[in-house]
Amino acid sequence: MSISGCPLRLFFACMSLVVPAARVASAQGPALALIPQPVEVGTSPGEFVITPSVQLIAAADAVPEARKLADCLAPAMGLRLAVTEGTEPRDGAITLRIDESAGGLGDEGYRLEVTPKRIVITAARPAGLFHGIQTLRQLLPAAIFRKAAVADTRWAVPCVEIVDYPRFKWRGLMLETVYHFLPKSFILNSIDTMALHKFSVLHLHLTDDQGWRMEVNKYPKLTEIGGWRDETVIGHVDRGGVLKYDGRPHGGFYTQDDIREIVRYAADRYIDVVPEIEMPGHARAAIAAYPELGCYPERQLRPWTRWGICEDIFNPFDPTISFLQDVLVETMDLFPSRFIHIGGDEAIKDQWEAVPAIQARIRELGLKNEEELQSWFIRQMDDFLAKHGRRLVGWDEILEGGLAAGAVVMSWTGEEGGIAAARAGHDVVMTPRFWTYFDYYQGPRETEPMAFDEDLPLRKVYEYEPIPKALNEEQARRILGSQGQLWGEYMPDPRHVEYMAFPRAAALAEVVWSPRGPRDYDAFVARLRQHFQRLEALDVNFRRLDETEPE
């Protein structure tokens, strides 16, 4: 069936947060024509009721998604709907169909038709079916998100016809696992929450000055020593005065089996996990484990215990380059993503300036200065990753000095890096901090828990436009999408990460999924209030809206 050939349809491409469909129908005059008369299935006009006898019909290529639908409905319904192989939609059934000719849906889009008789989800690819299932879940009562059988609930889906697909491919969240270690179980839960919001990328920041979180078989001390710091600074570090520390060791890491589990769990939900192995700066934990990687091998450091930018930086000698490439080999083995993030930000060059052997290295390599050395350093990784069929991703500082064509830039300091990169023909993920850093305050400082000392209210996230005005149409195609960052200095536990993430991540989910255009914040907030019921059932610790938010 061709979507474009269907005369009666509602066109929605903003369904990362679904509008209660009754609103959809009533808000769109002609849409009502789509709602057929009540028939024997269901007990009310204009809805399909999922009962125990409803079958899930799917052809072989759609069976895995049908099973996921059965899985996600089972706990709250208290029963598991049967999956039957088949291709023809049937009354009293939910049919999942992969139709490669379904035009205009792309790899991730779907068409969802709900009539009182049947539900049909059609997509060109399994990922589209999966996103359609997320919308279907949102159309059900919020109790569907509970993990045990809910009594006395009619599992009614209002009649709608939805054609829906994303604007951007890269719809990401970054979880930062170093400043405070994030348990594996929290990452798995977060992947579920991300899937519900139709995110496509989980960027895991795995190494930094304060800790190294990924087991590396060849270099076990990276986690044995680098995985643990002795204590942690208390409060903001940039307010002057004597710093106070908590005196409690902190750490943890993911085994390679843990990482395989995370990656597979995410892949099952069409989320690509992009690892970040930070270099050449933010290297203190690695240097603490292997002092020969640093600029002063005779110094025995410990992983850093405070926040900010540490001056310890990898040295640029061959053994260190090889060491890091070894680490990347294991990283690529664990993470099938085409994208491997190597950080590249905030590399203070003081140690490179001060060490004569490194100055000699700069001359030996025919470079002018430390900036060119950083560029050379990144290029070693860029070439290495490219040779292995992967694409390097880095924060916008990697632009300094030229990059391989396949490299991707994350523009965090502002839009400028992204603009320059797109103009230079690089793919770009827009992560400007004043729009996407979810570690900033989301409300009044008097009442909010301590956060990074900047502000990012919900409305600003919702009104963010990922394509900078300065780009022409061709350059704009270089913008892969955007993602929210959850730097965790001031998020001591997972509940706090959720508090900072939601609802801002829900706003960003709409920004990256929905079509360009003026955003109606009030309408978003109205939908968000519905959505909170889902987050409550899921026990996601979201921040409630201020009293002053629109109803």
Q: Which residues are catalytic?
A: 208, 282, 346
Residues 120-179 that bind a second copy (CB under 8 A): 143, 146-151
Judged by beta carbon, residue 186 or residue 317, the one nearer a second copy is: 186
Closest C-alpha to 13, from 145, 166, 137: 166
Strand positions, DSSP E, 328-478? 339-343, 391-395, 408-411, 427-430, 440-441, 452-455
Judged by beta carbon, residue 275 or residue 481, the one nearer a second copy is: 275
Q: Which of 248, 363, 387, 469 binds a second copy (CB under 8 A)?
A: 248
- How near is the Cβ of 186 to a second copy at its closest, in Å? 9
Q: What is the sign, positive or negative, of the torsion defined by CA atoms of 134, 140, 142, 148?
A: negative
Q: Is 522 in the site for a second copy (CB under 8 A)?
A: no
- How near is the Cβ of 547 to a second copy at its closest, in Å? 15
DSSP conformation letters of 136-170: HHHHS-GGGGSSSPPTT---EEE-EEEEE--S-SE
Helices (H), 2-98: 21-27, 63-77
Site string for a second copy, 74-113 (x = CB under 8 A): ------x---------------------------------
Helix axes 494-501 and 504-513, enclosed angle (nearest 10): 50
Number of residues that bind a second copy (CB under 8 A): 33
Judged by beta carbon, residue 477 or residue 495, the one nearer a second copy is: 495
Beta bridge pairs of residue 482: 171, 430
Site string for a second copy, 434-473 (x = CB under 8 A): ---------------x------------------------
Stretch that binds a second copy, among 97-105, 258-266, 310-318, 370-378 (CB under 8 A): 258-266
Judge whether 378 and 403 are in contact, CB under 8 Å. yes
Helix axes 370-387 and 356-364, enclosed angle (nearest 10): 60
Closest C-alpha to 440, from 451, 449, 431, 430: 451
- How near is the Cβ of 72 to a second copy at its closest, in Å? 13
Judged by beta carbon, residue 262 or residue 347, the one nearer a second copy is: 262
Q: Which of 67, 433, 459, 460 binds a second copy (CB under 8 A)?
A: 67
Helices (H), 248-369: 256-267, 284-289, 318-334, 350-354, 356-364
Closest C-alpha to 317, from 298, 295, 301, 299: 295
Judged by beta carbon, residue 149 or residue 309, the one nearer a second copy is: 149
Q: Which of 20, 183, 402, 414 binds a second copy (CB under 8 A)?
A: 183
DSSP state, residue 254:
B
Q: Is 493 in the site for a second copy (CB under 8 A)?
A: yes
Q: Is 188 in the site for a second copy (CB under 8 A)?
A: yes
CA 349 to mean position of chain CA atoms: 31
Judged by beta carbon, residue 260 or residue 349, the one nearer a second copy is: 260
Token pair of 403 as six digits: 């990059």
Q: Is 386 in the site for a second copy (CB under 8 A)?
A: no
Q: Which of 353, 539, 544, 550 binds a second copy (CB under 8 A)?
A: 539
Specify whether the backbone of 44 is left (phi greater than 0), alpha (psi in -120 to 50) or beta.
beta
- How near is the Cβ of 185 to a second copy at its closest, in Å? 4
Question: Applying CB under 8 A, which residues contact a second copy?
Answer: 67, 80, 143, 146-151, 183-185, 188-189, 248, 255, 257-258, 260-262, 264-265, 268, 449, 492-493, 495, 536-539, 541
